[in-house]
Amino acid sequence: RESRTLPLGEDGQPEITIMVGGVDKVIYLPAMLTERLGGFERQGLRVKLLSEQSGANAETTLLSGDVHAVVGFYDHTIDLQAKDQCITSVVQLADVPGEVELVAANKADEIRSPADFRGRKLGVTSLGSSTDFLTRYLAGSAGLSTSDYTTVKVGAGQTFIAGMTNGGIDAGMTTDPTVAQLVNSGKAKIIADMRTEEGTRQALGGLYPASSVYMKCEIVERYPEVVQKLANAFVETLRWLKQHTPEEIADRMPPSFANAGRDLYVQSIRDSVGMFNGTGRMKPEGAQNVLNVLSQFSTNVKPKKDRIDLSRTYTTRFVDNVPAS
Amino acid sequence: MTEDPVIRLRGATKRFRSSSGGVHTAVHDLTMTVGRGEFVAVVGPTGCGKSTTLSLVSGLEPPSEGEAVVNGRPVTGIPDGVGYMFQADAILPWRTVLDNVATGPRYRGASKREARERARDWVRRVGLAGFEDYYPHQLSGGMRKRVAMAQTLVNEPSILLMDEPFSALDVQTRALMQDELLRLWSGTGAAVVFVTHDLEEAICLADRVLVMTASPATVKASFTVPLARPRDVERIRLSTEFLDVYREIWESLREEVEKTRERGGKRVA
Amino acid sequence: MTEDPVIRLRGATKRFRSSSGGVHTAVHDLTMTVGRGEFVAVVGPTGCGKSTTLSLVSGLEPPSEGEAVVNGRPVTGIPDGVGYMFQADAILPWRTVLDNVATGPRYRGASKREARERARDWVRRVGLAGFEDYYPHQLSGGMRKRVAMAQTLVNEPSILLMDEPFSALDVQTRALMQDELLRLWSGTGAAVVFVTHDLEEAICLADRVLVMTASPATVKASFTVPLARPRDVERIRLSTEFLDVYREIWESLREEVEKTRERGGKRVA
Amino acid sequence: MSREGLDVQEAVTDAPAATTTAAPARAPLPDTAAVQRQASAARRRRRAGMWALRLLLVVVWLGSWEAAATWWIDPFFYSKPSAIWHRLVEWFDIGTQFGSVWEQILITLEEAVLGFVIGAAAGVVLGVLLGRSRYLADVLAPFIKAANAVPRIVLASLFIIWFGFGLASKVATVVVLVFFAVFFNAFTGAREVDRNLLDNARILGASRLQVLGTIVLPSATSWILSSLHTAFGFALIGAVVGEYAGASKGLGLLISNAQGTFDSAGIYAGMIIITVVALVAEWLLTMLENRLLRWRPSASRSSAEVV
Amino acid sequence: MSREGLDVQEAVTDAPAATTTAAPARAPLPDTAAVQRQASAARRRRRAGMWALRLLLVVVWLGSWEAAATWWIDPFFYSKPSAIWHRLVEWFDIGTQFGSVWEQILITLEEAVLGFVIGAAAGVVLGVLLGRSRYLADVLAPFIKAANAVPRIVLASLFIIWFGFGLASKVATVVVLVFFAVFFNAFTGAREVDRNLLDNARILGASRLQVLGTIVLPSATSWILSSLHTAFGFALIGAVVGEYAGASKGLGLLISNAQGTFDSAGIYAGMIIITVVALVAEWLLTMLENRLLRWRPSASRSSAEVV
Ligand SMILES: Nc1ncnc2c1ncn2[C@@H]1O[C@H](COP(=O)(O)OP(=O)(O)OP(=O)(O)O)[C@@H](O)[C@H]1O
Ligand SMILES: Nc1ncnc2c1ncn2[C@@H]1O[C@H](COP(=O)(O)OP(=O)(O)OP(=O)(O)O)[C@@H](O)[C@H]1O
Ligand SMILES: [Mg+2]
Ligand SMILES: [Mg+2]
């Protein structure tokens, strides 16, 4: 396997495979939307989108060269630097996680804030995932230690909902459209909404940049012009998002994404679309905050927190060069 | 011998569905009787329907036509007092010799202690004292046959059906078992139907030898054996009376055997 | 008969490791010879070591001590010209009758066509013409034995070892096969070693009968059979010469049989 | 079957002999054709009744599910038969979001079949080799036991790391699942070869290689073939689990995608497709088995009585 | 074993008879004790050689892995033996991030054993029932075939939806995996009961229930027991896969967490623990099997020659 080069098609154009950490999640919506809007084609890129629910698996395939870019959470770039792997975020889609901490409706009276997490079962998509870190940070900020509560791996989508409704978990962190599904049906209430800047600052005391497009440092070095085209395509989509209504956005997405009902899907877009920053530019303050969180809760980062070089985990040089439309 | 018979088959016919979906008649219009205390040997060509005849008497299979009467009552289910030693090994491999012999009494409601006591007696009588705790696989073929015999006899059957019980044994062991059988049988007053391929064996043991026709089976002829009892099996088969009867029955049997032989590969092993 | 023998065992001993890890001597210091064209029957008590003796001659097992010489050469590997009919069924169940018989020639390098031609001839000679395309499971026990016989004879062995080839057959089929064997053997000039449990069979077939001792086996005595050839197996066994030889050999054999019997459950089936 | 073949034989050569069988005073043999007609009519009736019962079971089962999902339980979790049916119709009519459903099936099948062939071949070769070589088998036994105890499904995600996201990782998952199923049967088959057959072949003049080809392999065939049934089931599961762990196409992805989009009907529909594929493969394997094992007595010894 | 038992018998009753066997002119029977000593010395040497060879294999394998991971390949993907060893030591010394490693093992075992017991019991009961009832078996055959073809691993996530994240969903996964493995063997075992044994029991006076208890069940035992080996492997895999799909404790979670945190040594360490657990369980089952099947001739027919 070759992990240092991009495969070229017959016409010499690179063929790029992008792994999305759940192509149906609203927080990663720009990936599919760019494809549906023809953004990649306009840049002369041939792009294939793949989907992989587990973030860690997505990164592993990036490192092994099977895919060339990942749409996923920014915090993994730091995590991987702790493991001596260099990947860098080239387009930062959002400055906030887009995650929501939900609490089961019948427990809403007892659990009003993270301070009430003591002795509770807290759902996360997967252990070691960003939802895991964020959950621990929420609890930690409220003065709890990790032994005061249990985190349970519940995945996303249907299994999360099942966990929430049949008592498998008391509270849990997830994204849209799962949030919309639970809140609409009255099965859960929101106690921390990290889909907006305001909510995020309130919950985490700062920004937490999440959805991003990242690639291996080597590839970025070697193919700046390809990366530029990718950045162009994504930023174009981010701008498009700012100018269109949730209904218009939903119309552009594959119909199967609205399998559980179009109204629900539109609503989940409406709730979440504010998180996308429109520019693709990373805010240094946010990056620093992510490092703070990981330094406390990531087993990989904690011992190496002083050696992490944040400047290698993201770059704004491509989004800065995107022509104004 | 013919009045008040213990076993009577009248016009009994038995049909099986063959594996190809056709119908195979194993026994056709068979009539025979066995008197109280009589030892009848049944000989006939391979596959003619001897085992099927026994299964009709034992009640394991109902006749397709005709009737089987045992002790004056038509057979439905297993009649009381029937013992059956099968052609193949039928003792339980997972029970010791003693427990194997105790099986019958246990089934019939005896307490564990009582059943074992009776079993121990019979194990001794068939000459297996000392082997009570052996499992069947630790025994020779001849010893296993003795276990089967004890297992059958412990129920004190008044009718004893035996289907080529010794055919799997080597010649020497077989002679020994034949003696043993006569010794155990004498004085029990049980009626015996003894199926065999071996004409010599039939004559050595029986009061009367029935010759069966080629398939489908029916009784072809009946010969009375004029040898006095008690008999020493190893000696009498070299006597002239024996040879005379042998020749006579063999003439009758040979015809059927040849008929079967001519049909060639008919017997699907 | 003793000069230039085809088979000579000299002081041959064979030991096996028994299942318990001990050592079992199957054959001890055995010396015997078989001359060219001679038909020798071997009788002996169950489990004494008859089959082991054959395996020494055939080269399937090397002797632990002593030596086996065939055609003047010490046995290492399978000697040329040896044919062996096993005690158990050994024909290939996945080959038709014809292909089974053709197996030997094929192994020995004959072309498919040639092998089949020779096989077809032998299938006919053993009386199975018309059954060439049957699979073994479609044949009766007797027919399978014929296939085995053809399979062995098609290689035209000069030494024919037969290990109780007919003991699994019913009495009637057995008599038929014995006749068949004599017919096929006569004129081939092959030396035959025929192991059997059945003294009658031994006498009917052989020029000479060897009696083996109880385990471990060695030769106890050798008897010449004074019956003229060609023999009709079904008739001679009722003749007086036959009965005389029978009595004589039986006296010798009975001692060993009783010895084996006394040892009780020795034979682990 | 065999009996029929032999009956023909008999009819040609022995017709006169058969008629002399009946003793003069006996009732004539009844018209067997009539008895046989009766018997087969009874069989037909029995079979019809059986199918009716099966149909009833299916109707009751699906009906109560549909009813329960309509009125009592939440179809969001449990779906319902009509929804599953619609999803299937949609997939086959319009296609899935990853393309035609046939393409997904073909991709999964490609992985399963490729891995199956490789795994089965490796299993047979190694099984027969070790089955015939006592020493090698003794030396390797503890390793094989340990390897067999490894939770192989978990390997799927390791293979993605090792072999990447494409065909290779799925095939590898399938191979490890199939290999052991086949290996142990091939091993047993090769070791349990009838001693007599081996000796007989040696006496008849077979070389080592000839013994292997004409005795050991055919002997082991019925063992090996019987393992292939389980093995193909494993192959499908391996492919699906591999796709589940990460893929761009295939039935596993279809199911995992359905899970991500709250489409419980899609989960069931995907499972139904896999089940049908497995049943078809099973049927093909049975055909193959019957062809290769023509020499065995037919297994259906249904010798039930006629009356 | 059996031979020994019988030899004692012989020695007691027939010692005089044995001495008369040797013909006068023959060489005396050699000292069998000496021959036997020789034989067992040879056996010991052979065994020692075997262990040496095995050790060599392990050393070469681990050594080359370690070397490769140190100098050529990226241990990020492939880990290396020393790292795996450290992770194991850490887990057993300090514990995992979810608590003591023993607790994880116990939880997984609890799920596996509970599901195993339920699945095996259901498999035996239904297997024996259908095995003895031809009609029921005929009617249900297509359903069972279809159910068996369902990709059961995929059910794990359905069960989570149905039964939640606790014990129940894992146990359910284990049960469906174990059930079929046991069912088919119990079915075959019950159906293949020797006809003669059944007839014999009936003749000896057994009632239907007695036939079931004393003939059918013991007959099927060896079939059932042999299925339990595979079944327990399945049970462990089922528990792990169930935890993998969602859980708060257990070995599956340990592995999935290792995957989530790019800890390849942790993946291997988890797999090693599961493997060891499976081997121990296998050993226990073999003990049970040997106890229950005392009546069978010992399987090790290692009748190799002495010289
Ligand atoms: N349960 C059955 N189903 C179908 N056919 C049967 C059944 N039992 C016996 N037969 C057939 O009936 C015929 C007679 O069988 P039976 O066993 O009574 O003969 P036999 O005289 O005892 O033969 P053998 O001498 O070989 O013991 C055979 O052709 C056999 O195939
Ligand atoms: N390969 C072997 N390994 C261990 N023991 C063996 C082996 N072959 C034969 N024996 C033992 O050697 C003894 C003689 O066996 P053999 O088969 O030669 O006797 P036999 O006279 O042919 O018996 P039978 O009359 O039963 O055929 C028996 O006790 C047998 O258990
Ligand atoms: Mg019979
Ligand atoms: Mg022998």
| Coil/strand/helix, residue E56 | helix
The sign of the dihedral angle between the CA atoms of C222, C225, C231, C235 is: negative
Closest CA to A261 of A252, A250, A270, A272: A250
- Is C264 found in the same domain as C217? yes
- The pLDDT value given to residue D194: 86
DSSP code of residue D78: H
Pairing, β A87-92 against β A211-216? antiparallel
Higher-confidence residue: A144 or E306?
A: A144
Structure-token match 């009430």, residue found: A116
- Is B53 found in the same domain as B183? yes
pLDDT mean over B11-23: 78
Cβ–Cβ below 8 Å for E165 and A163: yes
Q: Do chains C and B touch (3 or more CB pairs under 8 A)?
A: yes
| Res E11 pLDDT > 60 | no
Residue E248 forms contact with A (CB below 8 Å) = yes
Residue B2 lies in a domain: no
- Is B145 found in the same domain as B95? yes
Higher-confidence residue: E39 or A233?
A: A233
The answer to whether the CB of B47 is under 6 A from ligand 1 is yes
Of C100, C134, C156, the residue at which a domain comes to its end is C156
d(C-alpha E250, C-alpha E102), whole Å: 9
pLDDT band, very low/low/confident/very high, at E28 (cuts 50, 70, 90): low
Closest CA to D305 of B48, B62, E138, B78: B62
Q: Do chains C and E touch (3 or more CB pairs under 8 A)?
A: yes
Tell me whether 0.90 is exceeded by the ipTM.
no
d(C-alpha C57, C-alpha C159), whole Å: 10
d(C-alpha D209, C-alpha D129), whole Å: 12
Whole-structure pTM value: 0.81
Query: Backbone phi, then psi, for C8, in 5-degree steps?
Result: -140, 120
pLDDT mean over E113-123: 94
- Is B143 found in the same domain as B61? no
Structure-token match 């035609």, residue found: D100
- The pLDDT value given to residue B116: 94
- The pLDDT value given to residue D9: 31
- Is B31 found in the same domain as B61? yes
Q: How does DSSP assign chain C, residue by residue?
A: --SS-SEEEEEEEEEEE-TTS-EEEEEEEEEEEE-TT-EEEEE--TTSSHHHHHHHHHTSS--SEEEEEETTEE-SSSPTTEEEE-SS--S-TTS-HHHHHHHHHHHTT--HHHHHHHHHHHHHHTT-TT-TT--GGGS-HHHHHHHHHHHHHTT--SEEEEESTTTTS-HHHHHHHHHHHHHHHTTT--EEEEEES-HHHHHHH-SEEEEEPSSSB-EEEEEE----SS--HHHHTTSHHHHHHHHHHHHHHHHHHHHHHHTGGG---
Higher-confidence residue: B194 or D262?
A: B194
Minimal C-alpha gap between C137 and chain B (Å): 7
pLDDT mean over E156-166: 80
Closest CA to D114 of D148, D163, D147: D163
Residue B195 lies in a domain: yes
CB–CB of B132/B123 below 8 Å?
yes
CATH number of C255's domain = 3.40.50.300
Q: What share of chain C has pLDDT > 90, as a percent?
A: 38
Which tokens in the block code for residue A84? 């001596």
CA E252 from chain centre, in angstroms, equals 20
Cβ–Cβ below 8 Å for C84 and D194: no
d(C-alpha E187, C-alpha E127), whole Å: 4
- Is C216 found in the same domain as C134? no
CA E248 from chain centre, in angstroms, equals 28
d(C-alpha D13, C-alpha D11), whole Å: 6
Structure-token match 């269109």, residue found: A244
Closest CA to E153 of C268, C3, D153: D153
Residue C96 lies in a domain: yes
Cβ–Cβ below 8 Å for C11 and E1: no
- Is B261 found in the same domain as B172? yes
Minimal C-alpha gap between E20 and chain D (Å): 34
| Coil/strand/helix, residue A196 | coil
> Going by CA atoms, what residue is nearest to atom 7 of ligand 1?
B16
The mean predicted confidence, pLDDT, of chain C is 86
Residue type, D162: W
Residue D298 forms contact with C (CB below 8 Å) = no
Q: Which helix (H) or strand (E) holds A88?
A: strand A87-92
- Is B193 found in the same domain as B131? no
d(C-alpha C210, C-alpha E53), whole Å: 50
| Res C19 pLDDT > 70 | no
Which tokens in the block code for residue E114? 């509970």
The answer to whether the CB of B26 is under 6 A from ligand 1 is yes
d(C-alpha B157, C-alpha B108), whole Å: 13
Minimal C-alpha gap between B61 and chain D (Å): 9
Complete domains list, chain E, with CATH: 104-252 (1.10.3720.10)
pLDDT mean over B93-102: 92
- Is B258 found in the same domain as B180? yes
| Res B173 pLDDT > 70 | yes
- Is B131 found in the same domain as B116? yes
Closest CA to B192 of B152, B160, B230: B160
CA of B87 to the centre of ligand 3 (A): 6
Which tokens in the block code for residue A15? 């063929």
- Is B32 found in the same domain as B73? yes
d(C-alpha C147, C-alpha A76), whole Å: 75
- The pLDDT value given to residue E300: 41
Residue B133 lies in a domain: yes
Residue B108 forms contact with E (CB below 8 Å) = yes
Range D112-144 burial, b when 16+ CB lie within 10 A, else e: bbbbbebbbebbbebbbebbbeeeebbbbeeeb
Q: Which residues of chain B have a CB within 8 Å of the CB of C212?
A: none
pLDDT band, very low/low/confident/very high, at E106 (cuts 50, 70, 90): very high
Of B156, B177, B212, the residue at which a domain comes to its end is B156
- The pLDDT value given to residue A143: 82
Mark the ranges of chain D whose per-residue pLDDT is less than 50.
1-26, 299-307
Q: Is E16 exposed, middle or buried (0-12, 13-18, 19+ CB in 10 A)?
A: exposed
- The pLDDT value given to residue B20: 63
| Res E4 pLDDT > 80 | no
pLDDT mean over C232-247: 82
Residue B20 lies in a domain: yes
| C-alpha count within 13 angstroms, C-beta hemisphere, residue E71 | 5
- The pLDDT value given to residue B3: 56
Q: Which residues of chain D have a CB within 8 Å of the CB of E259?
A: 157
Instruction: Report the number of distinct structural domains present in chain C.
Output: 2
CA of B93 to the centre of ligand 1 (A): 25
Residue C1 lies in a domain: no
pLDDT mean over E99-107: 89
Cβ–Cβ below 8 Å for A60 and D257: no
The contacts of residue B49 (CB under 8 Å, 6+ apart) are B14, B26, B27, B30, B212, B215, B216, B217
Cβ–Cβ below 8 Å for B64 and D307: yes
d(C-alpha B113, C-alpha A279), whole Å: 93
Mark the ranges of chain A whose per-residue pLDDT is less than 70.
1-3, 54-55, 325
pLDDT band, very low/low/confident/very high, at C157 (cuts 50, 70, 90): very high
Residue A72 forms contact with D (CB below 8 Å) = no
Range of the domain at B260: 7-81+158-268
Residue C156 falls in which region: left (phi positive, over 0), alpha (psi -120 to 50) or beta: left
Query: Which residues 52-81 on chain B approach chain D with CB closer than 8 angstroms?
Result: 61, 64
Q: How does DSSP assign chain B, residue by residue?
A: --SS-SEEEEEEEEEEE-TTS-EEEEEEEEEEEE-TT-EEEEE--TTSSHHHHHHHHHTSS--SEEEEEETTEE--SSPTTEEEE-SS--S-TTS-HHHHHHHHHHHTT--HHHHHHHHHHHHHHTT-TT-TT--GGGS-HHHHHHHHHHHHHTT--SEEEEESTTTTS-HHHHHHHHHHHHHHHTTT--EEEEEES-HHHHHHH-SEEEEEPSSSB-EEEEEE----SS--HHHHTTSHHHHHHHHHHHHHHHHHHHHHHHTGGG---
- The pLDDT value given to residue D8: 31
- The pLDDT value given to residue A15: 83
Cβ–Cβ below 8 Å for E245 and A166: no
- The pLDDT value given to residue E32: 66
The answer to whether the CB of B52 is under 6 A from ligand 1 is yes
The contacts of residue B4 (CB under 8 Å, 6+ apart) are B35, B36, B72
Q: Measuring CA to CA, how many Å separate D128 from each of D215, D218, D229, E53?
A: 12, 11, 19, 21
- The pLDDT value given to residue B209: 94
pLDDT mean over B160-183: 84
Of C140, C156, C172, the residue at which a domain comes to its end is C156
Residue C232 lies in a domain: yes
d(C-alpha D67, C-alpha A16), whole Å: 48
d(C-alpha D294, C-alpha B30), whole Å: 38
pLDDT band, very low/low/confident/very high, at E210 (cuts 50, 70, 90): very high
CA of B60 to the centre of ligand 3 (A): 14
Residue D204 forms contact with C (CB below 8 Å) = yes
- Is B152 found in the same domain as B164? no
- The pLDDT value given to residue E298: 58
